[in-house]
Amino acid sequence: MTRFTRRTVIAGAAAAAALPLAGRGARAAGFPEKPIRTIIPIAPGGQTDVLARLLQQTIDKNKLLPQPLVIVNNAAAGGTAGTRTVRDAEADGYTIGMFHMGLLTAPAMGVVDYDHTAFEMIGQVGRTPIGLGVTATSRFKTIQDLIAEAKAKPDTITVAMNIGLLPHFVPLMFQQDAGIRLRYVQSGGGAVRLKSLLGNHTEVSLFASSEFVLYKEQGIKPLVMFSESRVPDLPDVPTAREIGVKTVFEERVMAFAPKGTPRDRLDVVAKALQAALDDPEVVSRLTALGIERRFVDGAKLRATLDELKGPIVTVGQEVRKAQAEQAAAEKKP
Amino acid sequence: MTSGRADAVKTGRIQRAAEIGYIVLVFVVALVLWREAGKLPPAPYDPLGPAAFPRWAAYGLAALGVAMTVRLLLGGGLGRAAQSLVSGLDGAAEHDLKPWTAVLTLMLALAYAGVLSLRSIPFVLCTGVYLFAAGAILGPFQGRRLAVVGLFAVVASVTLELLFRRLFSLDLP
Amino acid sequence: MTLTDAFIHLFTMKAFLVMVSGVGLGVLVGVLPGITAGMLMALTLPFTYHMSSVDAITLLISMFVGGVSGGLITATLMRIPGEPNSVMTCLDGYQLAKKGFPGRALGLGNASSVVGGALSWLALVLMAPPIASAAVALGPFENFALIMMALILISSLSEGSFLKGLSAGLLGMLVAFPGIDESSGIMRLTFGSAELEGGFNSLPVILGMFAVSQVVADALNIDEKTDAIEASMNGMFVTLRDYVLHGWNMLRSSLIGIWIGILPGVGATIASIVAYTTARNLSKTPDAFGRGSEEAIVASESANNATTGGTLIPLLTLGIAGGLTDSILLGALVIHNLQPGPLLFKNNPEIVNTIFATHLVAHLVMFAMMTFGISIFARLMKLPKAFILPMVIVFSVLGAFALNSRSFDIWVMLGFGVLGILLEAAKVPLAPFVVGLVLAPVAESELRAGLMASAGSFSPLVERPIALTVLVISAGLFVWPFIREWRRARLA
């Protein structure tokens, strides 16, 4: 740290006072002229947060942008408070967001009334393969065992989930596609679901491929993955397609900006993010985290999300059907 | 002595008024809670749903409200907390109380929060002005004291700005 | 790197400096009301990227330990909780200080903190794996029963006015309702407001009720002469006799702290409330509680420090984070390519041993720092209130805001400040309010998770032996204060 003389302190105060005015009326040529507020709608420490901070650090370190990204965590309301902040921010490129597929599942749950189309997509910065797993001592040795048991006794196999997010939605999709019925139990984040399985409180849960590698020692075993093709880290685990179930789904981390943000500014940020993803340190970290590093540009990402929206909305209807059944059950006795 | 007794009667009356106010609060909250709980849809997977706990809390509050009303009507007191977590509000003091200073302190805090959340006036300026104003009312208006408070306000607000916005790059209001 | 190596490493120049600055900053934010250890750690996290993983972990653990401890000073000297977990220390610490024994109050608190920390360290180092596997066996129904056991304390905390206390507990519970319902993903009690969808966070609520309201109360009493607090710092050094005298209390409160630390999402504030209430219920002089009781300070301060070791157990063995500070530690591990779990113990023993060594040594450093630092802080507290009180408000505003970067949280804090004043004026006990606020959401989500697994049947509550036992004990704890008061009334 530099030593503060009286003059630097006063100069600092003056500069600080002038700061909020500096960015007004900025032209794209000089973009960005002030720090870019990057909203992360989850608490510090989660995988999306770690990825975002890694990129922010790399952009800063390699001077990929003339101004830093400033990370702001807002985890309130299951992430919807954060996405709402981005949506309502001025579309000048100085506010962006980074979030996972919660962007699509929240509207399907009916928690918010906007989806990815309410934003400009900057690009996809990470993708993680996911799949269903059980304990090594489980009565299910293969995914076929599980499907057979679920068909014989519907609504008995318990799934540890995190409601409104992928560990809830993806098992639901699988259940629809495989024509079975599972019983859902609210649990929480990856480690909490792990604990629930290990204590035999629930039987099945969704994990990321990296979690399967990590939890192997603790006795968690993947039964099926929802990728297009087999995951290199888990070569023995079949994909859903191989067993004749069409479910394909992955967790994605995406960067986005308020609707109407000028294209050229989005490109500036996208270029910086893409360059950061090529940094050797980022490469090694992401490999360890089990995150695929391929950058997908805004237009392509938008098209993919449009495609994925269909199954997610269908699953949302499934949730409402379960709600209606619960209501009917309440009236009956 | 007589004035002491009059004071005791007065505090007794204030206490009773506060208790009636509290009971009203409990009933109002119970009613709002019960009404809102009625509007909630059932949950997809659990039989209790989001409404059960709020509803139970509403019933509990209503029952306690009735019990407190009955006790008051029968002439009994509601008792007082054995421990208070905020001290100096019971009015049993030997020094002069400054209710207006207290009210002003609260008002200034509200004004500070209000101006900050507008996000149009820089943090360092708001904080400096607030620290000066709040410091000024908490003591006599003497030139020398005010100068010291002013100096403190400038130093403190600039330090906070440098520390939180510059060093920690916090997104201050 | 073995544990011994880790200890030796801590005493190399660089590691020691990292640790001392971590503890120092932790104690400092602990002293500052509003700024919590969690906030400090979140702000420091980005700086740890460029450190070695051992240094990063040393720094964060030191901050974690220092932050839990520093709140004691503000609580004792100003009656404002420097950290939420020192709420209970305010009660007796300040009273004892006011009687002319601030040194004694701080010395006892400090000694209890280090004992609580050391005992939880033993639990962490010696028994982490067995405790973790026991914790895994506890399902939603058992967790629900355990939370009920703590929730039931509302009745003990309501002594003097059961009706008011129980209703305050319920009011606290309902503060936790607005926002997204964790068990169903449904928004509830938001009254159509987007801000309320985020709900009330417990930090701004507690800050408002105890810091803001106390600032206003202090403004009311601005003319009070506080010469008592200026009394000497005699008694800062606790003798062996005191450790013997309070030994059982320290042990019991530390065990409570460790247990609560292991439970997910409960935290140090509740640990100190539970330990305080237990000490009061078992005390020969329960009436001294709230009037400067030494036992009370010991109970509260041993328990909140003992949670540090407790929370690290599920964090290291399973990767489960219960609160903000834990998730930041977890994030730091992940950033440095370290995944908690049994593998961590096998593949990265240097990290596990660093955590173990730092946890203990940081407590000792904290003890030394507090011992020598207390007189400096005490002098700081003698600054005119005109400087201190507005600063408390500024720090609280910063602390509330930094949590989720929402202005709404600032309003929540000020609003609950006003509510705290009104409830206190109506002589409504506030401790049950806090218990309800923190525990009700955990109890609700555990019970409902259990019901989802059992397809709506409550029977596991009585069929599962642990759940049943705990519930029976809870029922006993619930009626005990009623019986005691009734007997006392009959004797009188």
Residue C308 CA, distance from chain mean position:
9
Task: Write down the pLDDT at residue A278.
Answer: 94
Whether residue C227 has pLDDT greater than 60? no
Please, what is the average pLDDT of chain A? 87
Mean pLDDT of chain C: 89
Find the mean pLDDT for residues A33-43. Answer: 90
The average pLDDT across C11-40 equals 92
Can you give the pLDDT at residue A1? 34
Q: What is the pLDDT of residue A26?
A: 40
User: pLDDT for A49-66, tens place per residue?
Assistant: 888 988 998 998 899 999
Residue A238 Rama label (left phi>0; alpha psi -120 to 50; beta): beta
Cβ neighbours of A184 in B, within 8 Å: 44-45
Residue B26, classed as helix, strand or coil, is helix
Per-residue confidence (pLDDT) for residue A25, from 0 to 100: 39
Residue from the list C201, C314, C335 with its beta carbon closest to the beta carbon of A50: C335
B87 within some domain: no
- A72-86, C32-46, C54-68, C221-235: the lowest-pLDDT one: C221-235
**pLDDT tens-digit series, residues C297-342:** 999 999 999 999 999 999 998 888 877 888 888 888 877 878 787 7
- Structure confidence by residue, pLDDT tens digits, A273-308: 999 999 998 998 888 888 888 899 999 999 999 999
Determine the residue of chain A that is closest to B154 in CA distance.
A13
Give A175's contacts (C-beta < 8 A, 6+ positions apart). Answer: A150, A181, A182, A318
A326 neighbourhood in chain B, CB within 8 Å? 42-47, 49
- What is the average per-residue pLDDT within C62-88? 91
Total structural domains within chain B = 2
Give the B-side interface with A, CB within 8 Å.
Answer: 41-47, 49, 119-120, 122-125, 158, 161-162, 165-167, 169, 171
Contact criterion met (CB below 8 Å) for B84 and B90: yes
- pLDDT average per 10 residues of sequence, chain B (173 residues): 55 81 95 93 89 95 95 81 74 78 95 89 93 93 92 94 79 67
pLDDT at A6 over 60: no
- Of B73, B90, B110, the last residue of a domain is B73
Q: How confident is the model at residue A29 (pLDDT cuts 50, 70, 90)?
A: low
Mean pLDDT value of segment C226-242: 70
- More confident position, B152 or A28: B152
Say whether pLDDT at C60 is over 80: yes
| C182 Cα to chain A: minimum distance (Å) | 8
Reply yes or no on whether the pLDDT at A311 is more than 60: yes
Average pLDDT score over residue span C50-78: 92
Q: Which CATH architecture has domain A129-250?
A: 3-Layer(aba) Sandwich (3.40)
pLDDT more than 90, % of chain C = 50
Q: Which positions in chain A touch C339 (Cβ < 8 Å)?
A: 214
- For residue A82, the distance in angstroms to the closest alpha carbon of chain C comes to 9
Per-residue model confidence (pLDDT) at position A42: 86
A74 → closest Cβ in C343, C405, C453 = C405
- As for the ipTM of the complex, it is 0.91
| pLDDT over 90 at C459, yes or no | yes
Residues B55 and B105 in one domain: no
Residues of chain C with Cβ-Cβ distance to B108 below 8 Å are 390
pLDDT for res C229: 52
Residues in chain C within 8 Å Cβ distance of A74: 404-406
Looking at the 3D structure of chain C, how many domains does it have? 1
- Residue range(s) occupied by CATH 3.40.190.10 in chain A: 129-250
* pLDDT band at residue A14 using 50, 70 and 90 as cut-offs: very low
Instruction: Work out the minimum CA distance from C418 to partner chain B, whole angstroms.
Output: 8
- Residues of chain A with Cβ-Cβ distance to B158 below 8 Å are 9, 12-13, 16
Task: Name the residue among C362, B131, C42 with its Cα closest to residue A40.
Answer: C42
Distance (Å, rounded) from C-alpha C82 to C-alpha C98?
18
CATH topology of domain A32-127+251-309: D-Maltodextrin-Binding Protein; domain 2 (3.40.190)
Among A19, A184, A330, the residue with its CB nearest the CB of B42 is A330
Contact A16 B120 (CB under 8 A): no
Q: How far is C356 from chain A (nearest CA, A)?
A: 21
How far, in Å, are C30, C127, C357, C373, C475 from residue C122 at the CA level? 24, 8, 11, 27, 32
Handedness of CA C301, C302, C304, C305 (dihedral sign): positive
Q: What is the pLDDT of residue C231?
A: 53
Residue C283 lies in domain: 3-491
Q: Do C320 and A74 touch (CB under 8 A)?
A: no
Res A73: pLDDT: 84
The range of the structural domain enclosing residue B22 comes to 2-73
Q: How many CB pairs under 8 A join A and B?
A: 58
Question: What Cα–Cα distance (Å) separates residue B137 from each residue in A210, B141, B142, C216, C417?
Answer: 59, 8, 11, 12, 20
The CA distance from C460 to C452, in Å, is: 12
Question: What's the average model confidence in pLDDT over A214-242?
Answer: 93
Q: Which residues of A touch B120 (CB under 8 A)?
A: 20
